[in-house]
């Protein structure tokens, strides 16, 4: 059965299509701004006018959803992250513009405070630098509601605070936003592979040498991920997320098997940068290794994958089908 292309295709258990891909994008304030992310070759921070062109390209390639990550200027960052829930903030205006121009494009928004805090943490902190759970949840609810009011289809709390899914679900229900989906970062690990992302959104310098170990998951644990997922399911999460993806295939498999709910995975910035660097040095073939990496994530049980390779992969899949 492996001896011929046709028979290999007939017995193939998993297929990768553009329907499996979600494109993460970085948006910044201004016009005609394109700022390459040094540690992520091929990825740029874009102003809204250029971002809309990028989204048009993605839609033409049959990518059905994008995830927004804001780049907030330092003067708008604060201890209490008040910029996160401003009605006419960068993300809120971007959501409205995307839905106006591309009503069928799914818009997923990141609900977390690290782009907005002067200290780079995902939540509010006390005088000792400890992240305060309940106080943070109050702000996250305001942020999620502002995204929903602007037209977001999915709000994605990525902060890992306890109880935030239930609080956001209750707020959405009480504000007549019942059909807004919650994509919970249910198993977000305190990974060393987020460095390029933090550079991209500008939180790297703010965070400094501080860690997020007190609220993100220990990479050594897997049973804890199931416990976290159970909490989120019971609180009303519609989709469960595992982050990172490639190093946590066992977690994807475990959560999908245990709950049989829509399960997404995030091929994070460090995973992207490693593959990109190896390809640029001709150590690996980019197309083959990227597609293999995504297939492995899907094989583990992911229903959809956030990947900075989404546009490139969609082009490769389109060309291969012709």
Catalytic residues: 188, 243
Measured CA to CA, the distance from residue 151 to residue 60 in angstroms comes to 22
The set of residues, in sequence order, having a beta carbon less than 8 Å from that of 69 and lying 6+ positions away, is 24, 25, 26, 27, 110, 115, 197, 200, 201
Distance CA 248, CA 176 (A): 36
Other beta carbons within 10 Å of 319: 9
What residues does 184 pair with on adjacent strands?
240
- Tell me which DSSP letter residue 130 carries: P
- The answer to the question of whether 228 is labelled as a binding residue is yes
Helix (H), strand (E) counts: the chain: 12, 10
Q: Is 247 helix (H, G, I), strand (E, B) or coil?
A: coil
Q: Which residue has the tokens 């499996």?
A: 20
Question: CA Rg, the chain, in Å?
Answer: 19
CA dist 239 and 18 (Å) reads 19
With beta carbons less than 8 A apart as the criterion, state whether 132 and 126 touch. Answer: yes
Q: CB neighbours (10 Å) of residue 13?
A: 7
Q: Which residues are annotated as a binding site?
A: 228
Q: Which residues are annotated as a binding site for Mg(2+)?
A: 228
């Amino acid at each position: 059965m492996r001896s011929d292309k046709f028979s290999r295709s007939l017995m193939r258990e998993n297929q990768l299509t553009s329907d499996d891909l979600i494109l993460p994008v970085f948006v910044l304030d201004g016009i005609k701004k394109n700022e390459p992310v040094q540690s992520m070759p091929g990825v740029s921070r874009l102003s809204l006018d250029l971002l809309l062109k990028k989204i048009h390209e993605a839609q033409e390639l049959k990518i059905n959803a994008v995830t927004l990550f804001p780049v907030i200027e330092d003067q708008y960052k604060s201890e209490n992250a008040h910029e996160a829930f401003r009605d006419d903030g960068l993300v809120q205006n971007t959501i409205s513009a995307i839905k106006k121009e591309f009503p069928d494009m799914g818009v997923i928004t990141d609900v977390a405070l690290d782009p907005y805090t002067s200290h780079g943490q995902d939540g509010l902190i006390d005088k000792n630098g400890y992240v305060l759970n309940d106080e943070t949840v109050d702000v996250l609810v305001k942020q999620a509601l502002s995204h929903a009011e602007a037209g977001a289809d999915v709000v994605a709390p990525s902060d890992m605070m306890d109880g935030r899914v239930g609080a956001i679900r209750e707020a959405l229900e009480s504000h007549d936003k019942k059909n807004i989906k919650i994509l919970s970062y249910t198993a977000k690990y305190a990974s060393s592979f987020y460095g390029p992302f933090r550079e991209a959104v500008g939180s790297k310098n703010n965070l400094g040498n501080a860690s997020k170990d007190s609220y993100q998951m220990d990479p050594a644990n897997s049973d804890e991920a199931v416990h976290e997922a159970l909490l989120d399911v019971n609180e009303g999460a519609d989709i469960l997320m595992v982050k990172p993806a490639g190093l946590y295939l066992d977690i994807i498999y475990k959560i999908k098997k245990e709950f049989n709910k829509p399960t997404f995975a995030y091929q994070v910035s460090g995973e992207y940068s490693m593959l990109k660097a190896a390809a640029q040095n001709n150590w690996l073939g980019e197309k083959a290794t990227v597609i293999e990496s995504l297939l492995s994530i899907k094989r583990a049980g992911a229903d959809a994958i956030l990947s900075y390779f989404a546009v490139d992969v969609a082009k490769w899949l389109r060309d291969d089908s012709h």
